[in-house]
Structures are given as structure tokens and as C-alpha cells.
Structure 1
């Protein structure tokens, strides 16, 4: 298996980087409706990314943890899905926790191109807190079975126990929100007793700040940044721009069809809730929002 470390991948990995509830799903789904772009038939593959580092306390896995064995395992997983999906020129991957470990991802996939998608922090907090409360849940058993297909068998018991325990605590009223949801930034447990809006704000800010720092060290030709608001306002134009960045072309009707399911209805919903947020939430959101012109 270690040969996967040494062999250049026969396709280009496209890694979407973004905090949870930032439009990563919508972007991945639109891109992979285009010919030549494929992805996993499940939501995220964090178990693949964390294999070999499952005991690391959070998702901020450092570059040094990309050992030859870890790199070989993850690269082999990309090769398998590439073969299963018909050997397309591009394999698209979206796992929100990767926003906290871009250097690690870069060490595993030096061939990758990155798309960093950003969204207004207030909109993210308004949406993310629903997921933290167990709302907006994905379909139950089929969703977990799809993810389990691509999780390392040796790691499955820990994931199953963690998921079951978290949801049981919600259903029995022991907790008002999940103990953990989305990317786990360093020290997240230290904030677990804070108001949920603040926890969601810190999670978003950690993802954006970590990704910003990482992309300062990566060749600018290998990544591009876009805003969710621009993507939803002109999804076809955004897809055309991404294709141009990749030196690819597709027929206009194919681009329009791929963009057809993108909706703008969720943009701005956080503004109406912002007045009720504690001052701490505004303080946490302000620096990364200013950096990106929000």
C-alpha cells in the first residue's frame, strides 16, 4: 500500500475547504454534476482523513501526522473512488473538518487544488446552531450506512458509539445540544458550557482563521477563494469561473443544469438573529468577517 505515497495520482483532487454550514455541500453537488467530476456517494469522509490519527484530540491534525502510512491509506481511498466512479479527471472531496488542517491535507495530496468557500458568519451561526441542537438532521439509517461504507472497519465501533451516545443524550433530555458537531477545533471542549451561539461562532472563526493562515503558505495557483453569497447569486457564473481556473470548459447548457438546484433563500437569515446574540459572539465573528469584507 505504501506505493500510493510515491505514485502521482492519475487525476486531480479538488478539495473544498469551508466551515460547516458555509455552502460546501451545495458547491460540491453543483461541481460534480459536471462531466468529469466525481465524488463519494456520502456526505463527508472524516473517518478516512482521521484514520491513523483517531486518538488526536481534535480535527487540527498537524502536517507532521501525515506519516507514510497515513498518506498511503488516504491516497489509496482516493484511488479506489476514482476507479469506482469511472476514472474521471477530477475527484472532488468535501469534509468541513479539513478547514482546520489544510497543511495536513496538502501533505497527503500535494497534487490537490483547493476551493475555499466563505459565508457570512452570522448566517453560519444561525444555521449551525440548528445542527448543534440535532435539527436539520440527515436521513437516519441510510445516511449512516452510506458513510460507514467508506469508514475504516477498525474505527467503526468508536464512531457508532459516539453517534449513538450523542443522540441518546438529546432524546432523553440530558443535553440541549450535541456534545460535538462539525469541525472540532483545539480547546472546543473548554467552551462546551458556553452559550450555543458563542460556541458556533468560535467554531466558524477557528475554521476560517486556520484556513486563512494555511493558504498563505500554499502556491496561489493551487487555490481559489469564493463567497457563498456570490455563488448563490450567480451559480452558473461561479461554476464557469471555476472551470476556467482549472483550464476546463463545458457546454453552457451543462453548466446551467449543474447550477440549477442552487438556491439563495438562506442568504441573510442570520442578520435578523444577530441583534439577539451576546456581545461575545460579535467579538468572535468580527475579525475574520472584516478580513473577508463582510
Structure 2
């Protein structure tokens, strides 16, 4: 019988993390939270830490016990052998996660940063989604609710008066986020978020045992998903019939490839490539 396992999906915003989580959790014995992300759970005990780049030395016994207990809740209530967790801000704190879950495995999914930027900008300017919000509120630690309530209210008020009609914050919060927001356009902010996420994730995951990490290129997954999913299952030691794998990826589409670049336009793409060029080259996107 397969042993219990925690699987953390690591990926920058708009890099296919939701898609990958949903495909994986469509299989028997693989569960996850019934909401988009659990950043509130990861930050419990560090709720006032100024960014999502929380170092490993901030892991306290109480915070670690709380987080592990939430994983066990999902394992128990969903009868799951594998618990899948996906929060984009986790790109910034892999050593922290590794200290909390020292035996977890990681799927690192990455995507063309310019395409991801074109998609992320839409989230920064999105209108209020009450059902989405209520799904996440259920998993906010009760003692942290007042803090997050005030922050969320401020972000919405900020959007009303912002020249770019953007939220005060969205996505992974970088160490120097305030400075970045002050000095850069919204497109540049999204590009720099992507860059920091993939740079930190790649560097930190390289310090973890290779047998606990698998890397997935978004463009490969959406173009030919069945072999990529089989490769992930081999990594996990999970057995699934080929017909079920084909059915699970039937809805995966490559229709978003190049969409972000097209929406931004050639001139803006050139500016963003100049800003994040070294990282794009390293990943083969430039």
C-alpha cells in the first residue's frame, strides 16, 4: 500500500498551478483544500512578517504543529493518501516549508514569464469575487481574521482611488514590494514578481534531495499532457491506468500559449524582456 505523502506544488502566479492541482486531485486518494490557496495557514504564527519570503528560522514548534495538523485534516476528511497543496507565495519560502514538512515532495511548474505577466495583470485589477473570498475565509485561523480583514478592506479601498485601478497588493509579497510598487508600472511589478518567484524557487529546490523534486515546463504539459502526468505519477509512485490519465487531461488546453505576450503588445514585451531577460534566457524563453 502506498504511504501517506504531502505534495507541494511550487509555481509563480499564472503558471498553471491551479490546472496541475485540479488534474492531480481528480484521482482517487489524492486530496486538497476546497479553496484556491492557503497562504493564511502558512503564515499562521508569522502573520505580521512583512513579506512572504519567510525564512526557515521563523518556524516555531507551535506554527509547525498547526500547519501539519491542517494537512492531516485534509488527509482524514478526504481519505487522501496524497495531500496536494498549492499556494503561489510558497515559491518564496521553500526552506520554511521544508522545515515544517521535512518529507514532502515538490512539483515545480514554470512558464514563460511574459505570458505569466500578461495574465497576472488581470488579477491585480480584478473586481471583488464574494464566492471566491468566502471559500478562502473558511481556512483563515480565527486569531488572524481581524488582521486579514483590515488588510483586505484597505486593498479594496485602494483600488477605488488607484490610477491603474489595481489592488493595494496581490500575489506573492516580495521583501521589497513597497519599493517595487512605487518605482514600477503594474506590468513591471508582475514581471518582477514572476522573476523573484522562479529565481528563489529554483535556487532553494536545488538544495533539496533530487528524488523529492520534479520540474515541469508548463508549455510541455499543456501541449502533451498525458506523458507529463505519467511522469509526475512515476515520481510519486502512484499507479493510474492510461485511460484514466487520458480522461483527466482531456480538458487541458494549450490555448493560452502566447496569449499574454499578444495582449501586452510588442513594445511592452520588449521592455519586460529587457527587465527580466537573464531569467527568461535561463529558462529558454528568450
Using structure 1 for the length normalisation, give the TM-score: 0.91
Residue matched to 1:100: 92
| Shift in alpha-carbon separation, 1:173–1:55, aligned structure 2, 3 A | closer
Residue matched to 1:244: 234
1:56-106 CA distance string (max 9 Å, x none): 1000000101111111110011111111112x2100000000000001011
Residue matched to 1:91: 83
C-alpha separation in 1, matches of 2:268 and 2:181: 17
Residue matched to 1:277: 268
Q: Aligned match of 1:122 in 84, 106, 114?
A: 114
| Shift in alpha-carbon separation, 1:274–1:287, aligned structure 2, 3 A | farther
C-alpha separation in 2, matches of 1:107 and 1:11: 18
1:111-169 CA distance string (max 9 Å, x none): 1100000000110111011111126x6xx222222111111011112212222221233
Q: Could you list the runs of 4 or more consecutive aligned residues of structure 1 that deviate by over 3 angstroms after TM superposition?
A: 171-175
C-alpha separation in 1, matches of 2:140 and 2:283: 35
Residue matched to 2:279: 288
Q: Aligned match of 2:123 in 119, 126, 131?
A: 131
1:237-290 CA distance string (max 9 Å, x none): 211111111122111121112112212111111332252227652233212222
C-alpha separation in 1, matches of 2:266 and 2:164: 26
CA displacement at 1:174 relative to structure 2? 6.3
Q: Aligned match of 2:168 in 173, 179, 198?
A: 179
1:37 maps onto 2:30 in alignment: yes
C-alpha separation in 1, matches of 2:257 and 2:87: 22
Are the counterparts in 2 of residues 16 and 115 from structure 1 also a CA contact under 8 Å? yes
Instruction: Note the residue ranges of structure 1 that are not aligned, 5 or more in a row.
Output: 1-9
Q: Aligned match of 2:74 in 81, 84, 89?
A: 81
Residue matched to 1:188: 177
- How does 1:175-254 map onto structure 2 within 5 Å? 176-193=165-182, 194-254=184-244
Residue matched to 2:103: 111
C-alpha separation in 1, matches of 2:91 and 2:123: 18
1:142 maps onto 2:163 in alignment: no
Instruction: Note the residue ranges of structure 2 that are not aligned, 5 or more in a row.
Output: none
1:56 maps onto 2:49 in alignment: yes
Q: Aligned match of 1:160 in 129, 149, 163?
A: 149
Across the aligned residues of Structure 1 and Structure 2, the Cα RMSD in angstroms comes to 1.6
C-alpha separation in 2, matches of 1:130 and 1:142: 18
Using structure 2 for the length normalisation, give the TM-score: 0.93
C-alpha separation in 1, matches of 2:98 and 2:275: 28
Secondary structure at the aligned position of 2:14 is classed as coil
